[in-house]
Structure 1
Amino acid sequence: MKINTKQMILAALFAALTAAGAFIQIPLGTVPITLQFLFTALAGVLLGARLGALSQLIYVIIGLMGVPVFAGGTGGISTITSKSFGYLLGFILGSYVIGKIAEGSTRPSFIRLFAATLVGIAVIYAIGVPYLFLISKYVIGKAIPFNLALKFGFYVFIPGDLLKCILAAALGVKIIPRIQQVFA
């Protein structure tokens, strides 16, 4: 993938914003509520599929290298065995999917961007919840029924994530035309 300097800066910016979002959190059970998804969604909405996913990949790689950028100030290769790592993997694909849907129009509507973020969060949960279940069962040794994984890794977060979807779509509708003016 060939990218220019502006694109590198934007990808790095959204990786940094996602890291900052990890530190704004509400500790709640197994996985804390953070603003990471808001910046993941905005990366897809504003940067598109390729750069949005790249920004999240950079974020995950930086964390795996040991920089404490994940929720709870964690980082390092050992986070692969944490219950929340599946969501981090989901950020990469989720941002890509959001970007693919958002890219479909030169002037996306709120409804299109909201739908894109809903599909993106569904992708993140589709990776994160099974990962949480499998890590709990096979790595941590505390087998939980899948319905409990859904309770602690999905149901608790839906109201906040729906608000983040609305916010990302509303910001996207306002920011995209301005970005197009600046870079036209």
Structure 2
Amino acid sequence: MGAFLSLPIGPVPISLQTFFVFMAGLLLTPTEAFLTCFVYFLLGVVGLPIFAGGSGGPSSFFAPSFGFVLGFMLIAPIISVLSRKIDLNNYVKSFSILLIAEVVLYALGLVYMYYMLKYLGTDLGTVTAVLQAGLIPFIPGDIAKMLIAVLIAPRIKKAITQI
């Protein structure tokens, strides 16, 4: 769902994918959070157009943004494991968990983006250029997604447990 709302701004589009990964991590068990992202990955790789920009298929591995899709499978269970140790109503701790996950996601995604662009013939050259292409434009939106996830996750979790 989050990939369908995307804005192409460079090698990595702006989308709501990370918001849904945050929510999976905050609301699901570590296994469920991983499996949710893994099934998303599999469906996209086999050809369903569910990645950002309506892409899909094995050629997705060559997209500079694909490292972020791979990272989703790592950060969703990390968020889940860490969030199980806190009260989700503690917004500072919840935000801190999402911030840690973002750092891990960007570490993986930016390295993948750099090497994939280099492989495809676009060498960004400097760390600054990599950060300008794949990190800096996303910071305001990612902070907003983290804040919204932190604010609504406890309410959704409470509603789910009451069912």
TM-score, scaled to structure 2: 0.94
1:143 aligns to what? 123
Task: Determine whether 1:111 maps to 2:95.
Answer: no
- The root-mean-square deviation of aligned C-alpha atoms, in Å, is 1.3
Bigger shift: 104-113 or 34-43? 104-113
Instruction: After superposition, give the CA deviation of every residue in 1:72-104 in whole Å (9 maximum; x if it has no partner).
Output: 111011110110000001111111111111111
Say whether residues 1:97 and 2:71 are aligned partners.
Answer: no
Pairing of 1:19-34 with structure 2 (within 5 A)? 20-34=1-15
Q: Is residue 168 of structure 1 aligned with residue 133 of structure 2?
A: no
Report how far residue 147 of structure 1 moved.
2.0
Residues matched between the structures, number = 162
- How far apart in 1 are the matches of 2:13 and 2:41? 17
- Corresponding residue number in structure 1 for 2:135: 154
With CA pairs under 8 Å and 6+ residues apart, which has the higher RCO, 1 or 2?
Answer: 2
1:180 and 2:161 aligned: yes
1:112 Cα deviation after fit: 2.2
Q: Moved runs in structure 1, 4+ residues, more than 4 A? A: none
Q: Identity rate of aligned residues, in percent?
A: 35
Q: TM-score normalized by structure 1?
A: 0.83
Displacement of 1:40: 0.5
Out of 25, 30, 33, the position equivalent to 1:44 is: 25
5 Å-filtered alignment, 1:72-87, equals 72-87=53-68
Output aligned runs, 1:2-21, within 5 Å. 20-21=1-2
Letter in 2 for 1:115: S
In structure 2, the residue matched to 1:64 is 45
Partners of 2:108 and 2:24 lie apart in 1 by: 19
Structure 2 match to 1:127: 108
Does the CA-based 8 Å contact 1:66-1:77 persist in structure 2?
yes
Q: Which amino acid aligns with 2:82?
A: I
AA in 1 matched with 2:46: M
